[in-house]
Amino acid sequence: MNLANYLTVIGFAIIVLTIIAAGIAFLLMYRKDHSQGEHPILRNYPVLGRVRYFLENIGPEMRQYWFDSDTEGKPFSRNQYQNIVKSAKYQREVLGFGAERDYDAAGYYLANTMFPKQADEMQVNHETQVRTKKYILLKDSLFGQREEKLEDNQTSAYLLKDDDAIVIGPDAAHPFVVKSLVGQSAMSYGSLGERAITALSKGLAMAKGTWMNTGEGGLSSHHLKGGTDIIQQIGSGLFGFRDKDGNFSWEELKKKGDMEEIKAFELKLAQGAKQRGGHVDAEKVTPEIADIRKVEPYQSIESPNRFHQFDDVSTLLDFVEKIRDHTGKPCGIKVVIGRNDSLVPLAKKMKETGKSPDHITIDGGEGGTGASYQELMESVGLPIKSALPIVDATLRHYGVRDQVKIIASGKLETPDKSAMALAMGADLINIARGFMVTVGCIQTLKCHANICPVGVATTDPDLQKALVVDEKKNRVANYLVTMRKGIFRVAAAAGVESPTQLQPRHLTFKDVDGDVASMDEYYQIIDDNIAKAIKRHEDMQT
């Protein structure tokens, strides 16, 4: 037999063996499916029923890439996601042909003026420059791989001028002066992996003038690698501030307070996604993370619902003051608003005692990095656009608004949304998931499972190899600069010289019938509701 005949025989034998193996596998699966008692579909339709489970498992991916429209996906639509990616990767800020917003739906609009500010009239710091790298798109064909070139890039940092800088804790020994209206919201090391934290730290430092909130998981070496300013969060689990018995350690607080990188502290009373202390699955708790948090490795972490160190507004304010005195640095709180009178006890006590947190972070109920429980994530706490006016109005009612800075958080990932929050009363903006996207997040919704395929929300060293820090840090900086530039652009359209001058009158609400009301008018309703809530609160007290 010649070589061709040998190859024919071998090929035929392989085909026969493959068919036999497939037949055996089919029979084994058929027998297993038919005899099991857990899944009725498999019992009645052995083997074929497995197709149903396969299609069910790939459903999220199919919807995301094929069936959802550009404006439908949750928690972020394809358009929202792409806006972040394009800002981070290309510093692209323009759209073609027109917006895809549903203009028949109710919603907020920024009120433009007939005579907007010119670029040279804006109060923006152009002296501070940011050097990054950005991609230039060369070719994007249907079947070929996208061709891109990475090139050096230099742009203005778009920071606030000195006169407009936001000062957190002006009466503290070491006030925190902020010149970026946007910073990174709380995301813990453990919830995110070391490479993601490192890329964020370095990118934020490149963008200058901003801050990084550690989240409740404690301070790691990865937070410090970029040299950016840090707000150190303290959660109810006291991670990073515990002694060996789990009690609050004032000695550990003093060590953190002495660190130059840490500019302020924040007590996390609640989070939009959780309304309680955090949860971390056991597989994420590596020995390094366990050492930072002073817990056992590879054991699930459940923080208490609240701090044991205080149990009412008076003891909370005393604890805040003690932290400020102990460190010389500002101390604020993070809360979620649930009703009109949520902040009344705090504002009232602030007026009576003169004591106050240096900042209040308002986290909207639509927030949601990391892992949480369905019932808490979806149904507890007001969204940020409802919560912000309540906080601002309550503090103004008691005459204590100037004592505290408000930081807003909750799906404010674009310049227009951030500008709306500033007009509603916020002083600063926190971004979490937007920054996750800049370091590679593709919304697989597996943050809780430690199997993030792009190495962002995982501590698995093999999965983290996908995240290249030196590439992603540029995207972080580009996104932040583009955000700040866009906020200034909106402010100019509204006719003000700086985004710090945005007020409720610069915001308009249109209902489903097309009727329009200024946020000023809406604020009158809010003020009335707050007054009624305060009266009810006082009546209940008496």
pLDDT in tens, 39-85: 888 888 888 888 888 888 777 777 777 777 777 777 888 888 888 98
pLDDT value of residue 34: 85
Mean per-residue pLDDT, 509-538: 86
Mean per-residue pLDDT, 229-245: 91
Helices (H), 246-304: 250-257, 287-293
pLDDT of residue 122 exceeding 70: yes
Residue 20, CB half-sphere, CA atoms under 13 Å: how many?
6
> Using one digit for the tens of pLDDT, what is the confidence trace for 336-395?
999 888 999 999 999 999 999 999 999 987 766 556 677 777 778 899 999 999 999 999
Mean per-residue pLDDT, 279-289: 79
| 296 touches 323 (CB < 8 A) | no
What burial class does residue 131 get, using C-beta atoms within 10 Å of its C-beta: 0-12 exposed, 13-18 middle, 19+ buried? exposed
Residue 381, CB half-sphere, CA atoms under 13 Å: how many?
28
pLDDT value of residue 131: 96
User: What is the crossing angle of helices 313-327 and 250-257, to 10°?
Assistant: 50
pLDDT of residue 33 exceeding 60: yes
Percent of the chain at pLDDT above 90?
A: 56
Q: How far apart are CA 463 and CA 536, in angstroms?
A: 53
pLDDT value of residue 369: 59
In this predicted structure, which of 210-214, 249-253, 448-452, 488-492 has the lowest mean pLDDT? Answer: 448-452
- Taking phi over 0 as left and psi of -120 to 50 as alpha, with beta for the rest, 363 belongs to beta
Token representation of residue 312: 């009412």
Q: How far apart are CA 376 and CA 274, in angstroms?
A: 6
What is the chain's mean pLDDT, rounded? 89
pLDDT value of residue 372: 65
Instruction: Give the residue, 304 or 258, on which the prediction is more confident.
Output: 258
pLDDT value of residue 405: 98
pLDDT of residue 414 exceeding 60: yes
Mean per-residue pLDDT, 7-26: 88
Token representation of residue 359: 């900042």
- Rounded to the nearest 10°, the torsion over CA 390, 394, 397, 403 is -120
Confidence of residue 535 (pLDDT cuts 50, 70, 90): confident
pLDDT of residue 273 exceeding 70: no
Query: What's the maximum distance between 2 C-alpha atoms anywhere in the chain?
Result: 106
pLDDT of residue 1 exceeding 70: no
Q: How far apart are CA 197 and CA 536, in angstroms?
A: 45
Q: How far apart are CA 397 and CA 404, in angstroms?
A: 14
Instruction: Give the residue, 537 or 273, on which the prediction is more confident.
Output: 537
Q: What secondary structure letter does DSSP report for 245?
A: T
pLDDT of residue 101 exceeding 80: yes
pLDDT of residue 448 exceeding 80: no
C-alpha distances in angstroms, 119 versus 115, 487, 495? 13, 13, 11
What burial class does residue 383 get, using C-beta atoms within 10 Å of its C-beta: 0-12 exposed, 13-18 middle, 19+ buried? middle
Q: How far apart are CA 312 and CA 334, in angstroms?
A: 15
Please identify which residue in the block is written with the tokens 């602030």. 350
Radius of gyration of the chain (CA): 27
Adjacent-strand bridge partners of 264: 231
**Residue of 267, 342, 350, 359 whose CA lies nearest to 306:** 267
Mean per-residue pLDDT, 524-529: 86
pTM: 0.89
Amino acid of residue 172: A
Mean per-residue pLDDT, 465-476: 95
Confidence of residue 192 (pLDDT cuts 50, 70, 90): very high
| 420 touches 385 (CB < 8 A) | yes
pLDDT value of residue 166: 97
What is the sign, positive or negative, of the torsion defined by CA atoms of 480, 486, 492, 496? negative
Mean per-residue pLDDT, 427-436: 96
Q: How far apart are CA 323 and CA 172, in angstroms?
A: 11
Q: What secondary structure letter does DSSP report for 445?
A: S
